[in-house]
Chain A
Amino acid sequence: MKIYNKKGLVIGLLWTAAGAFCLYRDAADAHAFLPQQIKSVVLSLIMLAIGLTCLVRAFSRRAAREDRIEELDERSCLVRLKTSSLTLRVTGYIRLAAMVLGLLAYAFTENLVFGCLFLFAGLEITLEAVVSAAAAVHYEKRV
């Protein structure tokens, strides 16, 4: 059998291993609460199914071609880019809100947890600004 999609094979192996491990854990260490056990087994089976699908597709020439076209598809690239951009923007707003709320809460309660929230959110925002500036310089030179 020839491997047509190495990346798909690796992803498939990882998902299959994770699914098999979770299923083994479900069997070996069953939850006392039945709905929780059912949920856990269903999730493990979904992981296993994803893994096996990726594995089967990695050995199929046609499926590998479809996957490659999907990966290179210009609209898909644009969707991925826009998704990343929006995700970063939304999480940025959440971090900013967390920083402000952390600062206000710390000022009123003097609880260290809120102080840490302010500190870490602030650090993340600073780090993001530095990385963003570096990325802008990088792409201004190359695009």
Chain B
Amino acid sequence: MKNKVKALRTAAGLTQQQLADLVHVSSRTIISIEKEQYNPSLMLAYRLALVLGVSMEELCCLEENKALEDQQYEDL
């Protein structure tokens, strides 16, 4: 799932380890989220949104991802 974690983290001047410490996960989780290999849980996404000062919709590109998912369902 597409997200803006890397862009927002860089803009906030945080390292991956610092962000990981702030949201109580390992730095590998942050790396995986940034690479869009792992989708965070609802609570982790909320924590990330709070730390990065954006809404969950913006952080997780929910509208864009929903459109992509709708397209996949239509293709079924």
Contacts and interface: CB of A to CB of B under 8 A. Distances in A.
Contacts, number: 24
Interface stretch (A14-22, A29-37, A67-75): A67-75
Interface string A81-104: 000000000000000000000000
Report the interface size class on chain B: 10 to 19
Contacts of A75: 25-26, 28-29, 32, 38
A76 B31 CA distance: 13
A76 B38 contact: no
Contacts of A69: 24-26
A70 B29 CA distance: 10
The B interface is mostly helix, strand or loop, or mixed, namely loop
B38 A78 contact: yes
Nearest to A75: B29
A73 B38 contact: no
Contacts of A78: 38
B60 to A, nearest CB: 15
B18 to A, nearest CB: 14
Interface of B: 24-26, 28-29, 32, 38, 40-41, 44
- 5 nearest A-B residue pairs (beta carbon): A75-B29, A73-B26, A73-B25, A75-B38, A74-B41
14 contacts: A69-B25, A70-B26, A73-B25, A73-B28, A74-B25, A74-B40, A74-B41, A74-B44, A75-B25, A75-B26, A75-B28, A75-B38, A76-B26, A78-B38
Given A74-B41, A76-B26, A76-B29, 10 more contacts: A69-B24, A73-B26, A73-B28, A74-B25, A74-B40, A74-B44, A75-B28, A75-B38, A76-B28, A78-B38
